[in-house]
Amino acid sequence: MDLFKLTRTLIDIDSVTPNEYEVGTYLHGFLRDLADRYQGEVEKLEVATDRFNVFARWGDPIVTLSTHMDTVPPFVSSREDDEYIWGRGACDAKGIVAAMITAAVNLLKTGTRNFGLLFVVGEERGSAGAIAAAKTPRGSRYVINGEPTENRLAVASKGALRFEIIARGKLAHSAYPELGHSAIHALLDVLQDIRSIPLPYDPLLGVSTLNIGTICGGHAPNVVADEARAEIMFRTVEDASPIRRALPAAVAGRAQAREVSHTSALRLTSFDGLPTTVVAFATDIPALGGHWGRPFLIGPGSIHVAHTAEEHIAKKSLIEAVEIYARMVTQLHAAQHVAQQVSL
């Protein structure tokens, strides 16, 4: 298997959320061939119309390797040089998909079984795939979730709390603004007050943060706007209740604040032989809810280039990830065997 070729093939399939059908179909076919060669099974786990997770297994999975198929916009096709592969999803997370599949092939060649691969939709906007997967577990005791952590095991990650802020106004000619009410002006005032909310701090994860991700509204520069919207996201370090309580006071009836999604901050365990880190991004792990087993979080690439125009991943990092994933599966198999012997 050509690890770099597979990475580029996946990058070159546009799968910006929620349009994962084509990449899911490709992965289902690719894994079906692998399942046929090594006596495995592969299935589509429906999430919504034309949206499905892909799950493959060989035997009864003790360990499942999992990451997401979708990407943030815009689509960027692949390219490579001697050191890096570039393009949308290179590190978040199509390179990780390729590394997990390559690790699976290497394990199967040595006769290792009782593991699975789970690739989900929708991680970038609400974790729809992981929420659906939590309702259809397949008996796995451990899940290794792949996100770009520079091949270090994340022992903690921030949560994510997303809101849509909607302001309403009254149309008027911009030459006579006193006859209307600008939704855009109201939204800007509300956002300024939201930015002033004191944010919680955690000794391990640091301070919570706020990002105003999108703003839209209005019709023309000579029209007083009757509607304006913004999407905002808090990166949380503890229970989200303090932010939920503070937001209505900041909005003060001038707009509507609608909670869109919430992913909890996490504390995770270490793994023998792997260096550790702490990350500020959210993952699918809370949405899986423990139904796919005890979670670990690790993957190749740097989050600092994910979601950027220069997203890329080092080829060396991909190769290292293949070895790490295979070794983790082997060690977790051994740990499960020891636990079973102790219980006898």
Q: Which of 20, 80, 123, 150 is catalytic?
A: 123
Does 76 score more than 70 pLDDT?
A: yes
- The model's pLDDT over 188-210, given as tens digits with 9 standing for 90+, comes to 999 999 999 999 999 999 999 99
Q: Where are the alpha helices (DSSP H) in 121-182?
A: 128-134
The Cα angle at residue 338 between residues 272 and 134, in degrees rounded to 5: 75
Q: How far apart are CA 50 and CA 264, in angstroms?
A: 28
Whether pTM > 0.75 for this model: the answer is yes
Does 281 score more than 80 pLDDT?
A: yes
- Burial degree of 157 (CB within 10 A; 0-12, 13-18, 19+): buried
- The model's pLDDT over 26-74, given as tens digits with 9 standing for 90+, comes to 999 999 999 999 999 999 999 999 999 999 999 999 999 999 999 999 9
Does 339 score more than 80 pLDDT?
A: no
Query: Is 41 among the catalytic positions?
Result: no
Cβ contact 38:58 at 8 Å: yes
DSSP SS3 for 81: coil
Q: What count of other Cβ atoms lies within 10 Å of the Cβ of residue 37?
A: 10
**Strands 153-157, 276-279: parallel, antiparallel or unpaired by DSSP?**
parallel
Cβ contact 75:11 at 8 Å: no
Tokens of 216: 């839209």
CB neighbours of 218 closer than 8 A, spacing ≥ 6? 183, 184, 225, 227, 228
Tokens of 208: 């919570």
Question: Rg of the chain over CA atoms, in angstroms?
Answer: 22
Does 344 score more than 60 pLDDT?
A: no
Q: How far apart are CA 95 and CA 85, in angstroms?
A: 9
